[in-house]
Amino acid sequence: MPIIYPPAAGFTKYLPSTRMLDGAFLCEFQSVQSMVNSSVPAFGEGTLWRAGDFSYLEAPQLAADHHLTTASGVKLYVQPINGFGAEFPQFALEAFNPALDGVTDDAEVLTLALEAIQSAGGGSLIWSGTAYVGSTLSTDGWLGDFALLGRGNTAGLKTSIDDISVIGGTPGEALNITIRNLQITGAWEDNNMQSEQDRWLLHIPSAGDVEIQDCRIGSSQKGAVKFGNARSFRMIGTTIHECARGGVNISGTQQTRFEGNVFEHLGDDAISLHTTESATSVSREHIVQGNHFVDCQGINALGVRNLLVSKNTGERIRTHFVRSGYDSSFEEGNGTVLGLSVTGNVINDCLNVRMINNDGDNNYWIHVNNAAPSGGPDLPANPGEPDPSGGIVPLAGNVFGIGADAPKAGAWGLNISDNQFLRTRQAVANYSDWGEGLLFDDTGYHDPAVTELSLMPYVRFYSGTRTLSWSNNILMGFRGFRFFFRASSDAGFRQCKISDSHFIWSGGGSIFDLGGSGGNRILDVQFRNLVLDGDRFYANAAHANDGSWSSESAMTAFNLPGCLGYSIAGCHVMNVSRIENSGGALRWSAEANYQYGQCVSDGFSTENRGIGVPMPASENWQLIDCDADTGSATWGQVRSVPQSMPSVPTGGYWLKGMFVRNSSGTAMSPDGSGRLLTGWRRAITGNGNVSGTDWLPIYAATTPA
């Protein structure tokens, strides 16, 4: 490259220069600071300057878009570190001479560096050290994709200004954005969180493909990250911490993926996925996998499609782990849950610290809420199948339950399986009793009192759920646990199956509560192979230590008022005041179910132990004689089980309601009418064994073939 130097340049040592192979000179300095402080005069536009590992080109003397100016007034352009003419140039922030001490305001320098990227049509910026930001780094009008990359373990962006975003603004088009290996730290001011309702450390309302990887973002009264209308969003290996407004808020974005992240000490949702009025597309295709949630709310997905929540862990989750549903502020077509899978998660402890959805002192492991606005006809009994675009095709009206003539919203394709929801400590008076520090919310860290009422998790499906599969889940250790189906006259439930799961220590109310108002349209609900151990630790005030119940309604396993079709098979129930409360429900069938207790009466009796109101054997509920008295040496042990005999028993002590199956075969069993004798049911507790008095024959309804 030809460079014009003053005549003295080749004959003196005044200039820090070296002769290049072509006879030209390269101006060299050991550091950027020494170059900026130098008194070397200008050599002319296009002269190559170097400072340490960074290259510069001399700008015209009248240039206004230069990046640096030396002490002698020389204007310089910073050059990419990956070579001249690189397709996606990479700039080093250090080449722009920032302080990077975490105290001096580097916002102006960062702005110059980002403008250099935009002038090149897009590129990346890499640095070490912490850049303090005293004003928002604005992306307004940007047209080039960009990446912010940290070098080593010290790179970061920091601000102490409470009412700014570190990075914000609206690009001129949907840009691809990458942020890697950076620590982005905000500010905490001692004021009310309401002033920060829409403040985020990273806030870009419109983007293309976004990736955040291996970052640490937090320590702010604002939220951490908010993006809107992106083509895709991916967050991997990142820690979001100590943000009063919450973690990550994504709206109108397709194909989001959260994997291997940590969300800890957040005052609101860790992840919020939704479609709002400002979104240009329905939010769909989301994966939340392999993350850890601590001291925060979980995943709030409103008006989204196809959400997979898998293999996550969590502890001290507040108000909800997964909340998915409808909101009346959504645009038409954006309010229905379609495709939700929650699988393989292990979550410990749930705490209610504030109300959501006007549900009072309730909190949720899983909450699917599809309440549509008032007005409009009910959903038809057999609505159409989901269409390929993600909508629901009804028989008439609009698509998603908006407007006077629209059908109500629904939820389709829900799979909740292979999860563990546990309470790890029983004696909790204050938050710190969990042994994991203080609670973090909009007031900062503190140690609130914790009541049993606040430890009552719910699983809730509201208004119009279709095709729900709940299987292989374990829920254990919660007083007042409930599994809610709430239907109104606007929408109902169809094809819901709860199977192969454990519900242990509920404490009060109902384990399954299927009811509601209006039409109570709950149809085709199947309960299969469940273990329901209600008040396992005798915490309910109506459950005495000897196993007796003082109230029939203190705790119900299946509370099913108005349910128009259900079946129960292969279930094991213990420590409840009653098994079923049908209240006008229609049970299709009950097969091979077992209840554990010591019962002397078919109806409610304070003399019954373990089960206050047993189900009769004639309804396919077998009574297992299990000692329910905590003062007994055999407490919790099974004393006898249903047996098979070739004839009516002639000896032994038997409990009322026990059933002995006939094992003699059909040759001797039919009575005079040809009915098959299936066995004998015990009518009186005791050791008498008189046929027809102590033992009542039970016949099949039809003649055997």
Residue 363: what pLDDT? 39
Cα 379 to the chain's mean position, in Å? 28
Q: How confident is the model at residue 279 (pLDDT cuts 50, 70, 90)?
A: very low
Residue 22: what pLDDT? 46
Residue 546: what pLDDT? 94
Q: How confident is the model at residue 191 (pLDDT cuts 50, 70, 90)?
A: very low
Count of CB atoms situated within 10 Å of the CB of 189:
17
Do the beta carbons of residue 372 and residue 329 sit within 8 Å?
Answer: no
Q: Report percent pLDDT > 70 for the chain.
A: 71
Identity at 2, one-letter amino acid code: P
Q: Tell me the CA distances in angstroms from 466 to 210, 495, 669, one per residue in order.
A: 34, 6, 45
Q: What is the pLDDT of residues 502-550, one digit of tens each?
A: 988 766 678 888 765 444 567 778 999 999 998 888 888 899 999 999 9
Higher pLDDT, 127 or 275: 127
Residue 486: what pLDDT? 62
> What's the rounded Cα separation, in Å, for the pair 235 and 273?
13
Do the beta carbons of residue 338 and residue 392 sit within 8 Å?
Answer: yes
- The arithmetic mean of pLDDT across residues 229-248, rounded, is 91
Q: How confident is the model at residue 25 (pLDDT cuts 50, 70, 90)?
A: low
Residue 100: what pLDDT? 94
Residue 432: what pLDDT? 79
Beta bridge partners of 263: 240, 293
Return left, alpha or beta for 561; rule: phi > 0 is left, psi -120 to 50 is alpha, else beta.
Answer: beta
Higher pLDDT, 176 or 641: 176
- The arithmetic mean of pLDDT across residues 552-564, rounded, is 85
Angle at 583 between CA 577 and CA 586, to 5 degrees: 115
Cα 641 to the chain's mean position, in Å? 43
Residue 652: what pLDDT? 73
- The arithmetic mean of pLDDT across residues 141-147, rounded, is 88
Higher pLDDT, 322 or 339: 322
**pTM exceeds cut of 0.75:** yes
Two tokens, residue 313? 């862990």
Residues in the chain: 705
Q: How confident is the model at residue 150 (pLDDT cuts 50, 70, 90)?
A: very high
Q: What is the pLDDT of residues 336-366, one digit of tens each?
A: 556 778 899 888 877 653 222 223 233 344 4
